[in-house]
Amino acid sequence: MSSELRYTANTQLEHLHARYTGTGHADLTKYEWLTHQHRDTLASIVGHPSLASYLAIADGEAIGRVRFEMTERMLQPCGPPPAKDD
Amino acid sequence: MHLYNLTLQSPTAITHAVAGNFSGSRHQEIIVSRGTRLELLRPDVQSGKVATVIASDVFGSIRSLAAFRLTGGTKDYAVVGSDSGRIVILDYDPKTSSFVKVHQETFGKSGSRRIVPGQYLATDPKGRSVMISAVEKTKLVYILNRDAAANLTISSPLEAHKNNSIIHHIIGLDVGFDNPMFAALEVDYSESDQDPTGEAFNNAEKMLTYYELDLGLNHVVRKWSEPTDPRANLLVQVPGGQLASSDRYDGPSGVLVCCEDHIIYRHMDAPQHRIPIPRRQHPLADHGRGLIITAAVMHKMKGAFFFLLQSEEGDLYKVTIEHEDQDVKALKIKYFDTVPIASSLCILKSGFLFVASEFGNHYLYQFQKLGDDDNEPEFSSTDYPSFGMADPSFALPHAYFKPRALDNLTLVDEMESLCPILDSKVMNLLPNSDTPQIFAACGRGARSSFRMLRHGLEVEEVVSSDLPGIPNAVWTTKLKEDDPFDSYIILSFVNGTLVLCIGETIEEVQDTGFLSSAPTLAVQQIGYDALLQVHPHGIRHVLSDKRVNEWRVPQGKTIVAATTNKRQVVVALSSAELVYFELDLDGQLNEYQDRKAMGSTVLALSIAEVPEGRQRTPFLAVGCEDQTVRIVSLDPESTLETISLQALTAPPSAICIADMLDAGINKTHPTMFVNIGLQNGVLLRTVLDPINGQLTDTRTRFLGTRPIRLIRVQIQRNPGILALSSRSWLNYTYQNLMHFTPLIFENLDYAWSFSAELCPEGLIGISGSVLRIFQIPKLGTKLKSDAIPLSYTPRKFIPHPANGLFYLIEGDHRVRSDAASAQAIDDLRRQGKMIDEETVDLPSEVFGRPKAPAGTWASCIRIIDPVDAKTVNVIPLDNNEAAFSLAIVPFAARGNELHLVVGTAQDTFLAPRSCTSGFLRTYRFTEDGHNLELLHKTETNDVPLAVMAFQGKLVAGVGKALRLYDMGKKKLLRKVENKSFSSAIVTLNTQGSRILVGDMQESVFYAVYKPPENKLLIFADDTQPRWITATAMVDYNTVVAGDRFGNVFVNRLDPKVSDQVDDDPTGAGILHEKGILAGAPHKTQMLAHFHVGDLVTSIHKVSLVAGGREILLYTGLHGTIGILVPFVSKEDVDFISTLEQHMRTEQLSIVGRDHLTWRGYYVPVKAVVDGDLCESFARLPAGKQSAIAGELDRTVGEVLKKLEQLRVTASGF
């Protein structure tokens, strides 16, 4: 979908994106996509008890520590965004 | 292929626990979440034992749990946040003993998603509202109230969303009866997402935000938001609010913000107080490493309150706040005690602390004191300038304490937990056992254990003593009807009877009125205060004044069988006649005028106990030599008339009628069961219809090789049946359902109930010439475990094919090995540092080991004798090496001598995976396998995560490469390699020249070794990416595997492709075939798929019953043990899947998760029927049961029988 369409024909889409964080769109950059992916994964680890336990055992940390570090990493999971060209 | 999934052992880990008065009585209970199960535990205030009251599968994943109580109420409700996209309020109904879903409000999609609430729950302390939040953005507030009929109501949700913000924690503030307020710990990422310089990221602030629910406006407003410590992770509620009766404030209100190294008291418009979290003063502790609080609990007492916070090392701290009304004067912290690291802590008003451990057993402690007047150093915010907040960006100086053994708490009870099961094997190693045992490597760190699990109930022997001869039966009896305990033990020998009196000691008595010169057939306390002895030549009725009324058998006849209860006696004579006696109102035993001729020798007799308030039981069961069982009436109107007859497959050896409650058959009244033991070791259980006396619903079970003996016993004041064959089994009612479980104990020849002051609920039994008094402490359990302690987290183990020993590798990340830490401490000593010996010598099972930086490993190889349950030898690994895989390999180059190959790596980092060097350590077995001799170490360039014996050589998965090694003099010699695997090889299986390779992320590859060309070729793979954790070969073409997200699935290769690959001698065909979808030329097909809900750590193809079919057994990380049973017939598949469909529509999930989407969480469920759901048919109300059974064209009994049969034939459980 072109950006033009997005702003004219389907004004609701903007609203939907705001509502459903993590939904992709046509102009998504690689960085944004990757950040979404990582945040989803990290949230999934925090949200599934067995996955959090698994990582805690592998890493030799307490589950609480694993959850905390995963949530912390959600702030910026893939480093700073690339500089814009324009 | 169709499979039936059945959980043998549900998860034992506890992920959340919350205390409250859920049943509305004065006693407090604990609701625990076991990930996919909800349980109500009741700690006994007197004995301190924790009992499970109910357990309920929720068919969903529980993510959060909270309790609340409406203002003025006496009963707590539980709120559950799960992956169902719904908030559920549960009420425990003590009458039906079940959780009742009071409200279920849908707010979003199902699944554990980033912006769907369910991760965090916070309740208002006055029970007026609840907030449910996601990890990001979404927060919903529900208002709770009562309607006119005092029922709980819930409002539609109010939003308190904040875009682009990550939520760390939420909590309900205690504000008394002001508008409810919630505090949240949030970080906004919108700026750091836009700033390429990274400055915004570095300056990102963690905000403590208050949300106020305006009850008048029905609206949530962001009341206050202030930055706090950027490493804050947890909020704790501080009591507040004014009492209605007085002007006093309960507390200052506000929150404790637990941060790395600090705890801050925070409230709107109030000064902050900051204190450091005290650390252990261990010489090897990494002082640069932060310390966080992972669990917290607040406890309010009359006029006071305190907090117990637990650090990630397990240390509990007591935190107190000194305040004058709403002004905080000081925040204080001191070390309290050390307990295992908890996922949740609960303090009960009765003075207990429940610690739900994140790994390993759970504990109940009792408070001895509250640490008020001890010498522990206390750290107060007043000791620091501006209450510790002079410069919030700088850390306060470290505070230290000395860890010590428990001082304020004492341990009162322990609940077993297998979590985590990291590897398992199923083998029959015990002598005299006809069923296999499950060997499991469990636990984490220094609290790890190696366990042997056996199907059966644990038996605790109280006392045992040798007897002069070999008795053939034993009884105990009271003297009077209302005696609390038994007085006599009667032992029957071949030629006599011995009576023992139970007093301070147990000794022989003479003048009991019992005939001692003949064996005894039955003993009964009859009437109010008389005793009865049946011997081959008569019946002796011993009155309380020791007068004896004797009934004698006619000349030339003897009594061959007898059965008695409090009012009735039936004996069978050698002439195949039945004689019936009944007690009249004067306490006289009267013979019924007629005798009944049976026509065939009577082998067994049984009558039930006299029902409460009745004169007699109306039925007698008679087992005859002509392989029949007849039900004979004892009703006065039709005395000794035969009512019904059942033919048997073998002569009966014992019969036992018992009234037992089985909610599957009748929810409210006990059902009369006729248990018939046959001489060939088969037990038949039939239901006796109380109206017409017909026998229906026969279920059979093979108990053992000896003729069965059946004894009616008392189990926790309920009737139970002990069935003795070559194994002893106990049939009893637990949580309203019938259980049938073997006892793990010596073979018993005879047994009886035993009740004395010291052992009120025991059993007495004879095995050979030994008299044993024992009790069964843990009813309801199916597996008994015997544990051997380990030093580090077990990773994998392998059995030796010949000597019955296990070889186990252990390894812990971020831990120094014992040798390395001793060395480091010695170095410090040499540098002249003072070492506190007490701290260094603390037992690591309790206190753990000091954390070392990432990349540090402690590891060893352990040799275990599983039968004697002991460690034979431990071989520690040095140089920071850690073991990851092992195999026993018969190297063809060494004449098939067995060698142990252990894959290790040095200085391993996990993410991204790296090591300075991997090694394949080759050991030779010495001293008959009790020791190992290192032959050589072969370097590898990556971590060898999987090794396996293959055609007299070794095949190893080293990172992405699959390699074949042969034995050499100084090293293993690499023969061939295939490097085209995608992430890392984690599992290997083989049959013939085929190797099945499980990849960490890309499912299972089928590879083949072609010796003529010396090539390892991949010829088939999977179309789906799978994060493999465990695999097993079902047959040559089929593989079953478990993945990291809790799925199990079966993949099969087309047999044509399989033949084609096998027929190709050089593999040239495969080599030149075109790959499909950027992978191998052939694809496997998925046959079955199922979401277990627990991460699968091992799978085996085994047979659990002697001579039974092979099934798939899997273990899960949280302690689950389950089986997948292949269906034998199409009819079974149709029947059970239709039943499953009906059960699904019953909406049993108490968290509101749709069953079909739960079992098809990641991939739609395929060809697997959920047996746990089907078995909950027994718990449905009778009306629903018969409706479903009607739809299936069966009776309820037939459906239950089919379900039991599936379980018993597959697992024996």
Read off the pLDDT band of B373 (50, 70, 90): confident
Q: Which residue of chain A has the CA closest to B189?
A: A75
CB pairs under 8 A between A and B: 146
> What pLDDT score was predicted for residue B1071?
83
Within 246-305 of B, beta carbons closer than 8 Å to A belong to: 292-295
* Chain A partners within 8 Å of B1044 (Cβ): 51, 54
User: What token pair was written down for A53?
Assistant: 């336990």
Nearest to B166 among A56, A62, A71 (CB): A71
Predicted confidence at residue B546, as pLDDT, reads 86
Give me the mean pLDDT over the B992-1000 stretch.
96
- Position B757 confidence tier, pLDDT thresholds 50, 70, 90: confident
Whole-number mean pLDDT of chain B?
A: 93
What per-residue confidence (pLDDT) applies to A8? 54
- Per-residue confidence band for B1029, with pLDDT thresholds at 50, 70 and 90: very high
Task: Give 3-state DSSP helix, strand, coil % of chain A, rounded to 5.
Answer: 65, 0, 35
Q: How far is CA B368 from CA B30, B298, B407, B810, in A?
A: 21, 18, 8, 37
Per-residue pLDDT at A4 exceeds 70: no
Share of chain B above pLDDT 90, in %: 82
CB B707 within 8 A of CB B713: no
Contact between B420 and A57 using a beta-carbon 8 Å cutoff: yes
Provide φ and ψ at B993, rounded to 5°: -100, 10
Residue A2 pLDDT exceeds 60: no
pLDDT value for B505: 84
C-alpha torsion angle, residues B21, B22, B23, B27 (rounded to 10): -30
Please give the torsion angle defined by the CA atoms of residues B970, B971, B973 and B979, in that order, rounded to the nearest 10 degrees. Answer: -160
Q: Which helix (H) or strand (E) holds B962?
A: strand B961-967
Confidence of residue A9 (pLDDT cuts 50, 70, 90): low
Q: What is the mean pLDDT of residues B1021-1044?
A: 96
Q: Does A47 touch chain B (CB under 8 A)?
A: yes
* A64 at interface of B, judged by CB pairs closer than 8 A: yes
Tokens of B1057: 């492709």
H/E element holding B1195?
none
Does pLDDT of B1002 surpass 50?
Answer: yes
> Structurally, how many domains does chain A consist of?
1
Q: Is A24 on the interface with B (CB under 8 A)?
A: no
Q: Which residues pair with B889 in a beta bridge?
A: B899
Query: Contact B358/A68, CB-based, under 8 Å?
Result: no
In a domain, residue A8? The reply is: no
Query: Is residue A59 a part of any domain in this protein?
Result: yes
pLDDT above 80: residue B657 = yes
Q: Does the pLDDT value for residue A14 go beyond 80?
A: no
- Asked whether the beta carbons of residue B1118 and residue A50 sit closer than 8 angstroms, the reply is yes
- Residue B570, class by beta-carbon neighbours within 10 Å (0-12 exposed, 13-18 middle, 19+ buried)? buried
Q: Is residue A82 part of a domain?
A: no
Q: Tell whether B1153 is within 8 A of chain A (Cβ).
A: no
Nearest to B358 among A18, A62, A80 (CB): A62
- Asked if A75 and B203 touch (Cβ cutoff 8 Å), the reply is no
* pLDDT on residue A1: 45
pLDDT tens column, B709-726: 999 999 888 899 999 998
Chain B contact set for A60 (CB, 8 A)? 445, 793, 812-815, 851
Instruction: Please report whether residue A11 resides in a domain.
Output: no
Residues paired with B1047 in a beta bridge = B1091
Residue A68: inside a domain, yes or no? yes
A30 touches chain B (CB under 8 A): no
| Contact criterion met (CB below 8 Å) for B1120 and B1090 | no
Full domain range(s) for residue A48? 30-74
Q: What are the start-end ranges of the E strands in B559-708?
A: 559-564, 568-573, 577-583, 589-591, 596-597, 602-607, 619-624, 628-633, 642-647, 652-660, 671-678, 682-688, 695-702
Tell me, yes or no, whether A1 lies in a domain. Answer: no
Residues on chain A touching B119 (C-beta within 8 angstroms) = 43, 46-47
Given a contact cutoff of 8 angstroms between Cβ atoms, the answer to whether B576 and B597 are in contact is: yes
In a domain, A38, yes or no: yes
Would an 8 Å CB–CB cutoff place B1095 in contact with chain A? yes
Out of B204, B294, B813, the one facing A75 most closely (by C-beta) is B204
Residues 6+ apart with CB under 8 A from B693: B618, B619, B631, B633, B643, B644
Chain A: give the shortest CA distance to residue B615, in Å. 57
pLDDT per position as a tens digit, B543-596: 988 889 999 999 999 999 999 999 999 999 999 999 999 998 888 899 998 899
pLDDT tens digits for range B1093-1102? 999 999 999 9
Residue of B nearest to A21 (CA): B115
Which of B32, B37, B112, B203 is the best mutation test for A, with the most CBs of A within 10 A? B112
Mutate to test the interface with B, among A30, A34, A53, A55 (most CBs of B within 10 A): A53
ipTM over 0.85 threshold: yes
User: Which residues in chain B are closer than 8 Å to A59, comparing Cβ atoms?
Assistant: 813-814, 854, 910
Residue B863 has pLDDT above 50, yes or no: yes
Burial of B441 (0-12, 13-18, 19+ CB in 10 A): buried
Per-residue model confidence (pLDDT) at position B447: 94
- Diameter of chain B measured on Cα atoms: 111
Report if residue A17 sits inside a domain: no
Largest Cα separation within chain A, whole Å, is 53
Q: How confident is the model at residue B82 (pLDDT cuts 50, 70, 90)?
A: very high
Per the model's pLDDT, the better-predicted residue between B898 and B373 turns out to be B898
Instruction: Examine the pLDDT at A12 and tell me if it is beyond 90.
Output: no
- For residue B569, give the nearest of B598, B597, B600, B541 by alpha carbon: B541
| Mean pLDDT of all residues in B172-187 | 94
- The model's pLDDT over B351-367, given as tens digits with 9 standing for 90+, comes to 999 999 999 999 999 99
pLDDT tens column, B958-968: 999 999 999 99
Question: What is the mean pLDDT of the segment spanning B809-834?
Answer: 92
CB contact under 8 A, A81 and B196: yes
pLDDT over threshold 60, residue A6? no
What value does the mean pLDDT take over residues B976-996?
95
**Which residues, 6+ apart, have CB-to-CB distance to B568 below 8 Å?**
B580, B581, B582, B583, B607, B610, B616, B617, B634
Domains of chain B are 982-1094 (no CATH), 1111-1211 (1.10.150.910)
Does B343 lie at the interface with A, CB-CB under 8 angstroms?
A: yes
Q: Amino acid letter at B837? A: E
Question: Which residues lie closer than 8 Å to B885 by C-beta, 6 or more apart?
Answer: B796, B809, B902, B903, B944, B945, B946, B947, B956, B957
